[in-house]
Structure 1
Amino acid sequence: MNKPVLERELPGRAIELAKGFTLEPMTPTIGAVVRGVDMGQVPDEKTKMLLREALLDWKVLFFRDQDISTEAHIEFSRAFGELEVHPFAPPKPGYPEILAISHDKDKPGRENVWHSDVTWREIPSLGSILRAIELPPVGGDTLFSDMYAAYEGLPDEVKEKIDGKYALHDFAYFRMEMRKKGMSEEKIEEFNRLYPEMEHPVVRTHPETGRKGLYVNAAFTQYIIGMDRAESDALLPYLYAQAAIPEYQCRFRWEKNSVAFWDNRACQHYAVSDYWPAVRRMERVTIIGDRPY
């Protein structure tokens, strides 16, 4: 288990981790603003180590004023692991690793549900690095929720019920969108074979910290395996709702060239869609993770 970068009695203070590199916690449990890191440069080993430790402790790191190129975004992200290409969402032209997330009057925001990214994959992501390109004049914040705290806050009888259980995850939303766009059932079946339904633990053990966290989400979880379906259908909304508890959250107000780097294994996020009909454009790079256990 990694030693936390910051002592918990110090939230709210800017802590110097290295010369010119500080961390400002946003809440006692999740979220910290990083100062003094230029994401236009591939991080050296010391910076990479400090950022990774900070990520493990605070689950999501925020950076301001990162006017970087697409290539720099990719190379900075690659320092933390192999990058994935999303099979369903549109990439930035010429950059398959960049997921282009764009909303406007004709395409309202739709990520306003608590979720962990790509949990329908056999190997979901370690995390994502998201950069703001164009923003509405107001609104469009993103909330992040600590899934360790969400698990630890459950009553003991609920923990006993879900510990050791697995849930089925599926890309049902994307399948629905493909049908709306008129994709043939034969083509959809190809995607079904490439990305079959996945069984992941309801309570995941983080591979680097050893801590337990809730690992079900409203976007991709279908039901709890081995549990009566009616009981599963009643229990899952209760588990999903843990992410919405304010004490487990931080909220990030974006500015142009702001960046968020979150640990998909330890937190969930919710993109607030309160800015229609304004434009909101983001670019995301996703780092491949490991099989949950």
Structure 2
Amino acid sequence: MTIAIRQLHKHFVGEVAGLDLRKPLTDVEAREIEAAMDKYAVLVFHGQDITDEQQMAFALNFGQREDARGGNITKASEHRLNSGLNDVSNLGKDGKPLPKDSRANLFNLGNCLWHSDSSFRPIPAKFSLLSARVVNPKGGNTEFADMRAAYDALDDDTKAEIDDLVCEHSLMYSRGSLGFTEYTEDEKEMFKPVLQRLVRTHPVHRRKSLYLSSHAGKIVGMSVPEGRLLLRDLNEHATQAEFVYVHKWKLHDLVMWDNRQTMHRVRRYDQSQPRDMRRATVAGTEPTVQQQAAE
């Protein structure tokens, strides 16, 4: 069956038909999907009742698996999944929803903030692929923002001002904005800030995009208040309705997105209801800027 893609938003997002992700992709199919990601930045696949192994196999068509360590506060002994996928559910190891006041649940609420996956790592993620295994009955939509269109819409003076700026990113910045500020010394070391460019250029089509995230807490060379005001202004601009696609999850949907060209966030939902979402993350290949110790 031929792959068919229907655009869902005026700027980005393609809905893919003609692929069964339980089966290995041919080289031609993998190239088609990679090219579609370059164009649409977000792809939606419906009705994909896949295993963890099949999800990971699909992801590995597009690069290496990103090491999931260092992205949360959950101890290895408490991990629910052992397949290499990131667990972005609200479930504990026993398969039940985490207590609302548990440390892990409070930390995970940071996913409700606009972000780009792994921007807190020296080499940030390339693609993310999220599979819906249990969908909560109300809420929990995921919103995506096209950071290419957002950059294009900036005035020339703003583009000139920000094109060479560098930001500090850390999970402690995003969680701190929600009042989560207590960390062990090991966690502080694990989450120490890294540097990322504020504007990225795509390696294939060379289109520029804003590289924003709630993980960004400082701009190098600016005072903290001045830098955060600029970041807030840019975030407000980039997440206007005209740049945003809202995905309303159905069971066995798989959505993949390019973290280099988009931001996303999950919307609030009833935490007492189970939500099982599993993410395969394709590693990036290079830093956005030469790393040095962030101050």
Q: Could you state the TM-score of these two structures normalised by the residue count of structure 2?
A: 0.83
What is the CA-CA distance between 1:85 and the residue it aligns to? 2.2
Which residue of 268, 281, 285 corresponds with 1:286?
281
Match in the other structure for 1:37: 19
What is the CA-CA distance between 1:161 and the residue it aligns to? 1.3
Which residue of 71, 79, 99 corresponds with 1:106?
99
Match in the other structure for 1:6: none
> CA RMSD, aligned part only?
2.3
Contact 1:105 1:279 in 2 (8 A): no
Structure 1 runs not aligned, ≥5 long: 1-18
Match in the other structure for 1:126: 126
- After superposition, the C-alpha distances for 1:42-72 in whole angstroms (9 at most, x for unaligned) are 2111100110111111110000111111111
Contact 1:204 1:212 in 2 (8 A): yes
- Identity among equivalent positions (%) equals 29
Match in the other structure for 1:94: 82
Match in the other structure for 1:15: none
Secondary structure of the 2:24 match is coil
What is the CA-CA distance between 1:175 and the residue it aligns to? 8.1
Q: Residues of 1 paired with 2:274 and 2:66: CA distance?
A: 26
Match in the other structure for 1:3: none
What is the CA-CA distance between 1:171 and the residue it aligns to? 2.5
Residue 153 (str. 1) matches residue 141 (str. 2): no
Which residue of 218, 227, 249 corresponds with 1:223?
218
What is the CA-CA distance between 1:237 and the residue it aligns to? 0.4
Residue 170 (str. 1) matches residue 157 (str. 2): no
Contact 2:212 2:263 in 1 (8 A): no
Residue 57 (str. 1) matches residue 44 (str. 2): no
* Higher strand proportion (structure 1 or 2): 1
Structure 2 runs not aligned, ≥5 long: 91-96, 290-295
Contact 1:92 1:98 in 2 (8 A): no
Contact 2:15 2:44 in 1 (8 A): yes
Contact 1:205 1:292 in 2 (8 A): no
Q: Residues of 1 paired with 2:4 and 2:80: CA distance?
A: 32
Contact 2:113 2:174 in 1 (8 A): no
Q: Residues of 2 paired with 1:181 and 1:94: CA distance?
A: 28
The one-letter code matched in structure 2 to 1:291 is P
My pick for the range that moved more, 165-174 or 130-139, is: 165-174
The one-letter code matched in structure 2 to 1:117 is D
Q: Residues of 1 paired with 2:270 and 2:8: CA distance?
A: 24
Q: How many residues align?
A: 267
Q: Residues of 1 paired with 2:174 and 2:232: CA distance?
A: 21
- After superposition, the C-alpha distances for 1:218-269 in whole angstroms (9 at most, x for unaligned) are x210111112433212211001112321111111111111000100000001
The one-letter code matched in structure 1 to 2:288 is P
Contact 1:205 1:212 in 2 (8 A): yes
- After superposition, the C-alpha distances for 1:135-176 in whole angstroms (9 at most, x for unaligned) are 112321111110011111112221121111111112315887
What is the CA-CA distance between 1:112 and the residue it aligns to? 1.3
Q: Residues of 1 paired with 2:172 and 2:165: CA distance?
A: 21
